[in-house]
Chains A and B, each alone.
Chain A
Amino acid sequence: MSDSRVEIERWRAALTSDNEADRGDAAEAPPEGAPPDEVVAGLTPLLHDPSDVVRLCAAETLGGFGGQAAAAALRAFVAREADPLAKAYGLSSLGLAGTSQDLPLLLSETAEDRPAQIRIHALVGLYELVRRGVKHGLMGLLAHDRPDVRGAAAEALATVLEARDDGDAVQRLERGAADELVEGAREGFVGALQRLQGSNE
């Protein structure tokens, strides 16, 4: 048996461990190089795990893998999930793995009367889904029969992809980093600023 197969079998065993922390760790970290179909098939049953943290981790990882099977499993998951944080992670994953049919749900979950964590993840899911759809559509138009359309699509793609000056968001994060008194929350502001500065260099 190859090293990677041994690692996959070890991972599959961890998915059914009696220790729920082991199941959560395994759900978050499938072995590198494992066939995506096998990972999705292994994680999908964990969306019914008794532990909300394990369900959350499985939903998060499924979003990263994508595909029709993952999207279908995530749709059913967000429809039934009672834990707000686990459902929230399901929504951002649906944005990564889903299709245009998921737009109405994601949009509705961004409403102000929804729990804050659900709004955060639904907003990101919505953004990811739209971004993916826009990019895919414009890339398709790069091969259009008419040269003027191909040229316009290329410019439109550049406009969508180019780095934007989000000065107002950066300013708000800087103010948050300076004013936040709770250390754990301040880490979030500082980390976000560092990531933004890194991506602009």
Chain B
Amino acid sequence: MVQQRAGAATPQNGGRAGDRFEQHADRVADMVVAGQSAESTLDEMAASGGGTAGELVQHQGGLPEPPFGDEKLQGLTKEQLQQLYDKYHKSNPAEANKIKKWQKSKGFRGSSLKKGGKAKKFLRVAGKGAKVILPIIFLHDWYKEGFWEATKNTVNDVTWPLSELWNDE
């Protein structure tokens, strides 16, 4: 129970941010093994906020939860911010906009986050391609298999590659 206070006593990997967490965990472990109270050492880490959000993400393998503030977003990469933005865009737009504002403050003009940018671009390109390809497929199938069979096949061709994209949340 005591270890939950600091929230970072079980480092999972190394690296620059890892040194501070690992040293802290080692100190706590040494004190526990020696039969001493580790409470004050745990409080040190809790009082310092346990590190930046980026350090916590590195150790806990997850992204911070809302409500977001500078302290939770500091140190996250643009990719991590993009993931968070996509996650809360629909369910909590006010929190999503806090993430966008953070990106705007640490970047400059043109630096921003947009909902599912890559998927939308794919859909636009795919949509244009489909206008050319699908009638050809349909006419080919109609010639070979008849109208209803061709209609069924073409509908399947349209829906299968897109079905996964609809379920991105």
Q: Which residues of A are in contact with B by a Cβ distance under 8 Å?
A: 19-22, 24-25, 28-29, 51-54, 56-57, 60, 63, 85, 89, 92, 117, 120, 124, 181-185, 187-188
Within 8 A of A (CB), among B68-110: 73-78, 85, 88-90, 93-94, 96-98, 100-101, 104-109
Q: Which residues of B contact A85 (CB under 8 A)?
A: 101, 104-105
Give 24 A-B contacts (CB < 8 Å), ordered by A residue.
A19-B93, A21-B90, A21-B115, A22-B93, A24-B100, A52-B101, A53-B98, A53-B104, A54-B97, A56-B101, A56-B104, A57-B100, A57-B112, A85-B104, A89-B109, A92-B109, A124-B109, A182-B75, A183-B76, A183-B77, A184-B73, A184-B76, A184-B77, A187-B77
Q: How far is the CB of A64 from chain B (nearest CB, A)?
A: 8
Interface size for B (C-beta < 8 A) is 29
Distance of A30 Cα from B78 Cα, bound (Å): 23
Check if B77 sits within 8 Å of A51, measured CB to CB.
no
Q: Which residues of A contact B93 (CB under 8 A)?
A: 19-22
Q: How far is the CB of A126 from chain B (nearest CB, A)?
A: 14
Q: Which residues of B are in contact with A by a Cβ distance under 8 Å?
A: 16, 52, 54, 73-78, 85, 88-90, 93-94, 96-98, 100-101, 104-109, 112, 114-115
Check if B115 sits within 8 Å of A25, measured CB to CB.
yes
Q: How far is the CB of A87 from chain B (nearest CB, A)?
A: 12
Interface SS of chain B: helix, strand, loop or mixed?
helix
Q: Which residues of A contact B115 (CB under 8 A)?
A: 21-22, 25
Distance of A25 Cα from B90 Cα, bound (Å): 12
Q: Which of B74, B85, B105, B109 contacts A117 (CB 8 A)?
A: B105
Check if A20 sits within 8 Å of B97, measured CB to CB.
yes
Distance of A146 Cα from B90 Cα, bound (Å): 63
Check if A183 sits within 8 Å of B54, measured CB to CB.
yes
Check if A21 sits within 8 Å of B96, measured CB to CB.
yes
Distance of A89 Cα from B108 Cα, bound (Å): 9
Q: Which of A51, A187, A188 contacts B97 (CB 8 A)?
A: A51
Contact A60 B109, CB 8 Å, known A53-B97, A53-B104: yes
Q: A124-B109, A182-B52 are in contact. List 6 more A-B contacts (CB 8 A).
A: A19-B93, A21-B93, A24-B97, A56-B101, A182-B74, A184-B78
Check if A188 sits within 8 Å of B104, measured CB to CB.
no
Check if B75 sits within 8 Å of A184, measured CB to CB.
yes
Q: Which of B74, B78, B101 contacts A187 (CB 8 A)?
A: B78
Q: Which residues of B contact A60 (CB under 8 A)?
A: 109
Check if B90 sits within 8 Å of A19, measured CB to CB.
yes
Distance of A25 Cα from B25 Cα, bound (Å): 43
Nearest A residue to B131, CB-CB: A3
Q: How far is the CB of A54 from chain B (nearest CB, A)?
A: 7
Q: Which residues of B contact A92 (CB under 8 A)?
A: 109
Q: Which residues of A contact B104 (CB under 8 A)?
A: 53, 56, 85, 89
Check if B100 sits within 8 Å of A21, measured CB to CB.
yes
